[in-house]
């Protein structure tokens, strides 16, 4: 069954809007697993506008399920943090400076040698590596050449187009996933997945190991409650 990793960035966004420690980001991580999540994801950004580096250290010491840290490995501070905290998985995302949120995957052909080098650094420390990619065959082929363990399919385009034509929206993801399976790459996915589009995605993507979901799940939790929201998302993955 596909695992649900809850991205708790948005708890930190709310906390930081007032200073202080409300809501408590560490508690949000611990409760995510208490409420049934299979893991916790954070995506610290260089300006620490939501998750802080100190949050990452505290979370690692206090959770028992899978910890996934996402971010830009061109930032030495990020690399050092990951090597220090040793999560189960690091997801490498090619964020540009000042970007509002992640909006593109790696060009795995152009950056093959760089990625290969960085991936080895993390793998030698015992950390599984996933790289964020668009659902494009060349990028999946390129990913296999970097030595990564997994790819994370960037699902923003699928989520955007789902309401109008879901078959067309998911088609490139199915093709990319089939190729990843042939190449023995593990498959994760994330970005803008929500209660309306998740079940169809998970039912149609062969070998989907994990989804990381933050923005929509935390937004739903405001109305439905955190535990209930996590349970509802889990149910979409059955």
Ligand X SMILES: CC(=O)[C@@H](O)[C@H](O)COP(=O)(O)O
Ligand Y SMILES: NCC(=O)COP(=O)(O)O
Q: Are 197 and 216 in contact (CB under 8 A)?
A: no
Touching ligand Y, residues 166-195 (CB under 6 A): 190-193
**Would you tell me how many other CB atoms lie within 10 Å of the CB of residue 43?**
23
Among 82, 85, 214, 217, binds ligand X (CB under 6 A): 214
Among 15, 43, 60, 150, binds ligand X (CB under 6 A): 43
* 105 binds ligand X per the rule CB under 6 A: no
Q: Mark residues 92-121: x for contact with ligand Y by CB under 6 A, - for none.
A: ------------------------------
As a whole number of angstroms, the distance between CA 197 and CA 131 comes to: 22
Return the structure tokens found at 176: 């990319």
Q: Which helix (H) or strand (E) holds 71?
A: strand 66-71
* 89 binds ligand Y per the rule CB under 6 A: no
* 210 binds ligand X per the rule CB under 6 A: no
* 102 binds ligand X per the rule CB under 6 A: yes
Q: With CB cut-offs between 5 and 8 Å by kind, which of ligand X, ligand Y, none does residue 216 bind?
A: ligand Y
Give the residue among 188, 172, 219 at the shortest CA–CA distance from 5: 188
Catalytic residue at 43? Answer: yes
Catalytic residue at 104? Answer: no
Shortest Å, Cβ 70 to ligand X: 5
Catalytic residue at 161? Answer: no
* 188 binds ligand X per the rule CB under 6 A: no
**Would you tell me how many other CB atoms lie within 10 Å of the CB of residue 164?**
8
* 72 binds ligand Y per the rule CB under 6 A: no
* 44 binds ligand X per the rule CB under 6 A: no
Q: With CB cut-offs between 5 and 8 Å by kind, which of ligand X, ligand Y, none does residue 159 bind?
A: none
Provide the annotated binding site for 1-deoxy-D-xylulose 5-phosphate: 45, 50, 101
Taking the least distance from each CB to ligand X, the nearer of 44 and 142 is: 44
Give the residue among 3, 55, 11, 36 at the shortest CA–CA distance from 214: 11
3-state secondary structure 115-166: HHHHHHHHHHCCCEEEEEECCCHHHHHHHHHHCCCEEEEECHHHHHHCCCCH
As a whole number of angstroms, the distance between CA 36 and CA 65 comes to: 10
Note the Cα 172 to chain centre separation in Å.
Answer: 19
* 132 binds ligand X per the rule CB under 6 A: yes
Q: Which helix (H) or strand (E) holds 215?
A: helix 215-224
Instruction: Give contact residues for ligand X (rule: CB under 6 A).
Output: 7, 9, 43, 45, 70, 93, 101-102, 132, 190-191, 214
Give catalytic residue positions: 43, 70, 191
Which residues of the chain form contacts with ligand Y (CB under 6 A)?
7, 41, 43, 70, 152, 190-193, 212-216
């Amino acid at each position: 069954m596909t695992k649900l990793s809850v991205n708790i960035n948005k708890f930190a966004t709310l906390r930081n809007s007032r200073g202080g420690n409300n809501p408590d980001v560490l508690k949000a991580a611990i409760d995510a697993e208490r409420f049934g999540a299979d893991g916790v994801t954070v995506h610290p950004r260089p300006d620490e506008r939501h998750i802080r580096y100190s949050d990452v250290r505290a979370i690692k010491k206090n959770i028992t399920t899978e910890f996934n840290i996402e971010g830009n490995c061109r930032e030495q501070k990020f690399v050092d943090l990951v090597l220090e905290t040793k999560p189960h998985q690091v997801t490498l995302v090619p964020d540009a400076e000042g970007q509002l949120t992640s909006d593109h995957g790696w060009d795995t052909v152009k950056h093959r040698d760089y990625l290969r080098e960085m991936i080895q650094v993390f793998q030698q420390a015992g950390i599984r590596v996933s790289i964020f990619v668009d659902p494009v065959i060349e990028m999946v082929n390129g990913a296999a050449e970097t030595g990564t363990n997994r790819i994370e399919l960037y699902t923003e385009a699928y989520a955007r187009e789902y309401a109008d034509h879901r078959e067309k929206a998911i088609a490139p993801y199915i093709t990319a996933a089939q190729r990843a399976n042939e190449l023995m790459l593990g498959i994760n996915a994330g970005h803008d997945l929500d209660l309306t589009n998740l079940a169809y995605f998970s039912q149609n993507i062969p070998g989907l190991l994990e989804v990381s979901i933050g923005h929509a799940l935390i937004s739903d939790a405001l109305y439905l409650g955190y535990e209930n929201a996590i349970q509802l998302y889990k149910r979409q993955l059955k």
